[in-house]
Structure 1
Amino acid sequence: MNIFRLAGDMTHLFSILVLLLKIYATKSCSGISRKTQELYAIVFVARYLDLFTDFISVYNTFMKVVFIASSLAIFWCMRFHPMVRRSYDRDLDTFRHYFLVGASFALALILHEKFTVQERWFTGCYILFE
C-alpha cells in the first residue's frame, strides 16, 4: 500500500464526511454547487466501472464503493431531500456543465486505447475531471 494513496484517500474521505455533516446539521446546501456534485457522481460512477470486472484488493473495492455512495448521497440530498433542496440557489450555480460532459464524451470517442465501453467511459471521465 502506498502511503501517499492512503493519505489522499483519507483526506478525500474526511472532506466528504465534513460536507455530508454540514448538509445534515444545517439542513442546507447553500454555497455548494449542485452541478459540481453531479459531475463528481458521474465521474466516480464511470471511473469505477472496473469495480465489476477487476478485483485489486478489498481496500480498493471498499473505497470505490464508499466514494460512489457518498457522491450519490450528496447528489440525492441536494436534488431530492425536501428541506435541503429548498436552500439551493439556482441563480448562483450558472456553470453550463452539460457542454463539459458532452465535450468529454465526444473526445472519449476519439482518444482511447481500446474501443470498449469501459475504456470510453474511463477516457471521458479522465478528460472531464483532469
Structure 2
Amino acid sequence: MNIFRFAGDMTHLLSILVLLLKIYATKSCSGISLKTQELYALVFLTRYLDLFTDFISVYNTIMKLVFIASTLAIVWCMRMHPGVKRSYDRELDTFRHYFLVGGSFVFALVFHEKFTFQEKDLKSRFLQKCLGEDSNPNLYFGGARREFLLLFSLIFWAFSIYLEAVAILPQLVLLQRSGNVDNLTGQYVFFLGAYRAFYIMNWIYRYFTEPHFSRWIACISGVVQTALYADFFYYYFISWKSNSKLKLPA
C-alpha cells in the first residue's frame, strides 16, 4: 500500500466519522441526502462480496466492514431513528436515484474488466485451500458454473465503481437547493471529494510503479467522480478563504 492509497482511505473514513458526528451530536440529518447514503450502502455491499471468498489483509477486511456497517447505520438513523428522521429534508431530496442504479448496472453488464489467467489461477488456488489441497474446484462448481461466478463478481464490482462515481449527485443537488451548508455537512462532502482525489494519485503512482497495473474502469470513474466535486470545491475554497459560511448557488 502506498501513501496515496492510505491517505484516500483515511479521508474516506474521516468523512464518515464527520457525518456520524453530525448526526450523533445534533440529532439531525438536515442537509444530508438519504438517497446518496443508500447508494453508498449499495456500493459497498456489491463491491465487498469478496469478504466471503478472499482474505487480503486484516486492514483490508476491517476497512470494508467499517464502511459497510457505518453506512448502514447512517441509513438506519435517517429512516428509523425518531429524533433524526424528523429533520430529514425529504422535500429537497427528490433526485431520481434509481436512474443512477439502472444506468450503472447496464454499464456494468457491457463494460467490465476481464479476468486474466493469473487471476483465475489465484481464484482456483483459493478454492483449493477452502476445499482441500487435493481437491479439484471444477468437481464442485463445474467449469461453466465457476466462470459464471467469476463473471458475476466482475459485473458487481464494475457496478459498484460506476455507481460510486455518481452517488454524490443527490447530495450535491440537495445542497444546491438548500443554499446554505452547515460546517459539518460541508466538511463531510469535502473529505469525500478529497478521498477520490487521493485515489487518483494512487492510480497514477501504481501505473508508473507496477508493471501490469490496469484498472481503467476505476480510473475513468474516479476522474468523473472527482470532477463532479469541482463546483463544490470552488465554493468551499471561497468560503474558507473569506472565513464565511459556505453557500452554493441554487
Aligned residues: 130
**Aligned counterpart in structure 1 of residue 153 of structure 2, from 114, 118, 122:** 118
Taking the aligned partners of 2:8 and 2:161, their CA distance within structure 1 comes to: 18
Q: Deviations over 1:57-111 (max 9, x none)?
A: 1101111111111111111111111111111121101211001101111222222
* Root-mean-square deviation over aligned CA pairs: 1.3
Structural mapping, 1:41-120, within 5 Å: 41-112=41-112, 113=114, 115=148, 116-120=151-155
How many Å apart are 1:117 and its aligned residue? Answer: 2.0
Taking the aligned partners of 1:4 and 1:125, their CA distance within structure 2 comes to: 21
Taking the aligned partners of 1:56 and 1:3, their CA distance within structure 2 comes to: 18
Task: Give 1:81's aligned amino acid.
Answer: H
Query: What residue ranges of structure 2 are gaps of 5+ in the alignment?
Result: 116-147, 166-250
Q: Deviations over 1:6-37 (max 9, x none)?
A: 11111211121111011011111000001001
Could you state the TM-score of these two structures normalised by the residue count of structure 2?
0.50
Matched with 2:6 is: 6
Q: Give the secondary structure class of the aligned counterpart of 1:100.
A: helix
Q: Give the secondary structure class of the aligned counterpart of 2:89.
A: coil
Task: Give 1:88's aligned amino acid.
Answer: Y
How many Å apart are 1:120 and its aligned residue? Answer: 1.3
Taking the aligned partners of 1:9 and 1:108, their CA distance within structure 2 comes to: 24
Task: Give 2:8's aligned amino acid.
Answer: G
Moved over 4 A (4+): none
How many Å apart are 1:124 and its aligned residue? Answer: 1.1
**Aligned counterpart in structure 2 of residue 129 of structure 1, from 142, 156, 164:** 164
Taking the aligned partners of 2:35 and 2:89, their CA distance within structure 1 comes to: 11
Larger RCO of the pair (alpha carbons < 8 Å, separation 6+): 2
Taking the aligned partners of 1:127 and 1:13, their CA distance within structure 2 comes to: 20
Taking the aligned partners of 1:103 and 1:123, their CA distance within structure 2 comes to: 12
Taking the aligned partners of 2:158 and 2:5, their CA distance within structure 1 comes to: 21
**Which 10-residue stretch deviates more, 3-12 or 55-64?**
3-12
Structure number, greater radius of gyration: 2
Could you state the TM-score of these two structures normalised by the residue count of structure 1?
0.93
Task: Give 1:17's aligned amino acid.
Answer: L
Give the conservation status (yes or no) of the 8 Å contact 2:55–2:61: yes
